[in-house]
Amino acid sequence: MSKNDQQQTANIELKQTKAESNYSKLQWFFFVIVIPFLFAIAIALVVMTIAGLNVFDIVEKYGEKIPGVSSIINKNEGSSENIENVFTLRATIEDQKAEIAKLQSEIDSKLAEIDASQTEIDELTAQLTELQEKEREVTIKLEELAKVYETMSAKKSSAILAEMTNDDAIDILVKMNNESRAAILEKMEPAKAAELTVLLKAEENKMTAEQTEEDGTQQTEESQQQDQNEPAFENTVQ
């Protein structure tokens, strides 16, 4: 064996000896210090638990005084608070979504009611327009019929009107001029003429009242329209 080989062999043996020595020291440290220390901690925990002490509260209490441990504890507490805040925000968002859905449902319901009301208004307006048109047609026919009776002799017209119902006769007499009406009533029997005269007077009073009410409504609308236009005019002048 050469001298170099002997030197290498000696180095290997020396390294092995050092490794075994380090392993022996580590083994000694583990069995002599670490294991007894852990065993002592376990016994202490058991004794403190039996004594009724909350080990975790004590660790937290004294751990806050240690810089490294306190930062870990505070970090955990901050994380817990953040988690609680997230849950709270999520719950708030869900509540707001539910409230929005409820309000949207109410809005849709009100819009549906408005649409239904508008449809009903349109139908009633159409019915009113139709009735007004029919009333105008009837009025025109009565006026034309009244003119026919005016062209006839008073004796003949009175005989025909006397055979009608009082309502039909009044409808025609109202549309006639005063001269023809007086001549026809003069040719009727006194009792029938008196009866129709009373009804004719009542109908004329009714028509006068309706005309007065219509004129008052028209004046009110014109006054309101004027009041609405005056501020705009004043602002224009200013």
Q: Could you tell me the pLDDT band of residue 233, with boundaries at 50, 70 and 90?
A: very low
Query: What is the pLDDT of the chain when averaged over all its residues?
Result: 76
Q: Does 97 or 234 have the greater pLDDT score? A: 97
Q: What is the pLDDT of residues 27-76, one digit of tens each?
A: 666 666 767 777 777 777 666 667 666 555 655 555 555 555 455 445 55
Q: Does 70 or 225 have the greater pLDDT score? A: 225
Q: Report DSSP state, residue 65.
A: T
Q: Report DSSP state, residue 66.
A: S
Q: Could you tell me the pLDDT band of residue 16, with boundaries at 50, 70 and 90?
A: low
Q: Report DSSP state, residue 188.
A: S
Cα(82)–Cα(72) distance, rounded to whole angstroms? 15
Question: Amino acid identity of 142?
Answer: L
Identify the pLDDT of residue 237.
42
Instruction: Round the CA-based radius of gyration of the chain to a whole number and report it.
Output: 57
- pTM of the predicted structure, to 2 decimals: 0.42
Cα(62)–Cα(10) distance, rounded to whole angstroms? 54
Identify the pLDDT of residue 88.
82
- Which 3-state string (H, E, C) describes the chain? CCHHHHHHHHHHHHHHHHHHHHHHHHHHHHHHHHHHHHHHHHHHHHHHHHCCCCHHHHHHHHHCCCHHHHHHHHHHHHHHHHHHHHHHHHHHHHHHHHHHHHHHHHHHHHHHHHHHHHHHHHHHHHHHHHHHHHHHHHHHHHHHHHHHHHHCCHHHHHHHHHHCCHHHHHHHHHHCCHHHHHHHHHHCCHHHHHHHHHHHHHHHHHHHHHHHHHHHHHHHHHHHHHHHHHHHHHHHHC
Q: Are 175 and 161 spatial neighbours (Cβ–Cβ below 8 Å)?
A: no
Tokens linked to 1: 């064996």
Cα dihedral 66, 72, 77, 81, rounded to 10, equals 140
Give the mean model confidence (pLDDT) for residues 185-196. Answer: 91
Q: Could you tell me the pLDDT band of residue 126, with boundaries at 50, 70 and 90?
A: very high
